[in-house]
Structure 1
Amino acid sequence: MMIKNYYKKESKKSIEKQEIKDLFIEYEKTKDQEIRDILIEKHLYIAEILSKKYSNRGIDYDDIYQVASIGLIYAVDRFKVAKGFEFSSFATPTIIGEIKKHFRDKGWTIRVPRRIQELSKKVNNSKVHLSQKLQKAPTVKEIAEYLECTEEEVLEAMEASKVYAPQSLDITFDSSGDDKDINLADLIGEEDFYFSKVENSDFILKTMKGLNDIEKQIIIERYFNKKTQVSIAKDLDISQMTVSRIEKRVLEKLRREAEKNMII
């Protein structure tokens, strides 16, 4: 009885497999959208299985599944029955390729070179392997020797991995007894001392582009290098009075520009 049921199941699978094959052949000929939809729906389980394999890696499962489904559509459109492959064998690398591409493009908050991304993955894998082998957390030197690279490259990859799926600034921590929780932003945020100077610095740099070489040199020497008018006059082989006159003229120009732009 069990053998009979087994052959019934196998026979049913063979029929379904032939039906799917026939649908692919028909789709190749006609490009019928209804047939395409049927083929996609029948093979969505492949996208689901592969999506679960790549879940819990910093990107939501729903996003991965959506990308995997797009990969499945590409596979359906490109599949050729005449080449003799099983569709699942053809579709799997296509879908995985789309998922990995999505991870490369979206998984890293700050774009880093592909070389560093790949090394970062190797470093993380080597940490697990070496921890089991050595029964302790491996050092940078041990990781570098295992991967046959330099310690600097390992450190660079470890730093780069910090921009992969970072924590939100809105994450809260228990305040150890206080009623009020603390945000991560409250712990690491601070006012930038130079923030208020950015606009003025930008204005000065833009304005100085309109000065001639001597005017630029006098302003730079006076206000950046802290030189006296006498010293500047000696360097430029002009009188101190000329330096004073040019300086006054440039400062007046800066003042007018500042008023125009409401900087002061």
Structure 2
Amino acid sequence: MRTQAQAHARHSHDDAPDTAAAFRRLAALPPGRQRDELRERIVTAWLPMAERLAGRFRSRGESFEDLRQVAALGLVKAVDRYDPDRGNAFESYAVPTVTGEIKRHFRDHMWTLHVPRRVQDLRNRVRFACQDLSQSTPGRRPTVAEIAEHTGLGEEDVQAGLEALESFTALSLDAELPGSDDGYSLGDALGSPDPALDTVVDREAVRPRLAALPERERAILYMRFFNDMTQSRIAEQLGISQMHVSRLISRCCDRLREQVLRDAS
């Protein structure tokens, strides 16, 4: 009969099933229905452990049902890869396998944007440090220096970890801003391109060509496009016909366009 200490060394949980004999039979069975049924019974027996491990990752932005599914997948992998001939208890192999599968799920699927593994590790270290330090710094958030001393990280790494804490998910531009009572969203607070910027390059390109025009043609363009005068008023002021003004404006604009395009090419 096994002693209580031996049983505790073999399984860290009192409700851990004793499947050592089942694993030995599984290893000896060839592929087929009998092996599949035994494999399914082993997985079912260890599902409570997998769900218990999934429960450790609650409140991290993922539903518990999804975490259970991921933990179950990790358990299946552990059952398929476990070698009873190595002499180690299944639980000692399954726990890190299932936990690693859950962590991999967070790393690969929960971040809205791809974040380097190093930054994810910094985030986790900083998060755990903040939890530890909250006991000794009640009522306030630990400082960067305090977190750096607690973790042994540099302050720049701590700052990167803190920024990653706030960047796990992206905020929709349609999200209502805090304190807004009229549905004012983040998108409403963003600026938009100034349409006048599109004319800056054109104005600067045409400026030297305008300065090189004869005085009368330059004056006609100024009165038409800057003073918003009609062609008839320009003709009256200059003592020429409106038709002549129209031809001069068209000829000047065509010439300026050709010169600017030629300069650009």
Give how far 1:174 is off: 8.6
Unpaired segments ≥5 residues, structure 2: 5-13, 213-254
Q: What one-letter code is carried by the residue in structure 2 that aligns with 1:158?
A: L
Cα deviations across residues 50-106 of structure 1 (Å, max 9, x unaligned)? 111111221111111101000011011111111112112211111011001001112
Give how far 1:138 is off: 2.2
Question: Quick check: 1:174–1:182 contact (8 Å CA) kept in 2?
Answer: no
What is the alpha-carbon distance in structure 1 between the residues aligned to residue 171 and residue 207 of structure 2? 51
- Of the structure 1 ranges 30-39 and 61-70, higher mean CA displacement relative to structure 2 is found in 30-39
**2:44 equivalent in structure 1:** 41
What is the alpha-carbon distance in structure 2 between the residues aligned to residue 68 and residue 99 of structure 1? 6
**2:20 equivalent in structure 1:** 21
**2:9 equivalent in structure 1:** none
Question: Quick check: 1:141–1:151 contact (8 Å CA) kept in 2?
Answer: yes
Paired residues for 1:88-237 under 5 Å: 88-135=91-138, 136-165=140-169, 186-190=184-188, 192-194=190-192, 223=202, 228-229=207-208
Question: Quick check: 2:176–2:185 contact (8 Å CA) kept in 1?
Answer: no
Q: What one-letter code is carried by the residue in structure 2 that aligns with 1:107?
A: M
Matched residues, percent identical?
32
What is the alpha-carbon distance in structure 2 between the residues aligned to residue 21 and residue 224 of structure 1? 84
Q: What one-letter code is carried by the residue in structure 2 that aligns with 1:25?
A: R
What is the alpha-carbon distance in structure 1 between the residues aligned to residue 202 and residue 144 of structure 2? 46
Q: What one-letter code is carried by the residue in structure 2 that aligns with 1:124?
A: R
Cα deviations across residues 132-170 of structure 1 (Å, max 9, x unaligned)? 234443222332343344433322322222121466756
What is the alpha-carbon distance in structure 2 between the residues aligned to residue 119 and residue 153 of structure 1? 7
Structure having the higher Rg: 2
Paired residues for 1:80-95 under 5 Å: 80-95=83-98
TM-score (norm 2): 0.60
What is the alpha-carbon distance in structure 2 between the residues aligned to residue 149 and residue 52 of structure 1? 29
From the superposition, tell whether residues 157 and 243 of structure 1 become closer, same or farther in structure 2 (CA, over 3 Å): farther
| Structure 2 residue matching 1:128: 3-state secondary structure | helix
What is the alpha-carbon distance in structure 1 between the residues aligned to residue 137 and residue 191 of structure 2? 46
What is the alpha-carbon distance in structure 2 between the residues aligned to residue 35 and residue 55 of structure 1? 31
Give how far 1:125 is off: 2.1
Paired residues for 1:244-255 under 5 Å: 245-248=258-261
**1:210 equivalent in structure 2:** none
Q: What one-letter code is carried by the residue in structure 2 that aligns with 1:152?
A: E
Of 64, 67, 80, the match for 2:67: 64
What is the alpha-carbon distance in structure 2 between the residues aligned to residue 33 and residue 108 of structure 1? 36
Question: Quick check: 1:23–1:35 contact (8 Å CA) kept in 2?
Answer: yes
**1:30 equivalent in structure 2:** 30
From the superposition, tell whether residues 110 and 222 of structure 1 become closer, same or farther in structure 2 (CA, over 3 Å): closer
What is the alpha-carbon distance in structure 1 between the residues aligned to residue 203 and residue 90 of structure 2? 70
Higher helix share: 1
**1:260 equivalent in structure 2:** none
What is the alpha-carbon distance in structure 1 between the residues aligned to residue 39 and residue 101 of structure 2? 20
From the superposition, tell whether residues 162 and 173 of structure 1 become closer, same or farther in structure 2 (CA, over 3 Å): closer
Pairwise CA RMSD: 4.0
Unpaired segments ≥5 residues, structure 1: 1-5, 7-12, 176-180, 202-220, 234-241, 254-264
From the superposition, tell whether residues 76 and 108 of structure 1 become closer, same or farther in structure 2 (CA, over 3 Å): same
What is the alpha-carbon distance in structure 2 between the residues aligned to residue 103 and residue 191 of structure 1? 31
What is the alpha-carbon distance in structure 2 between the residues aligned to residue 133 and residue 250 of structure 1? 69
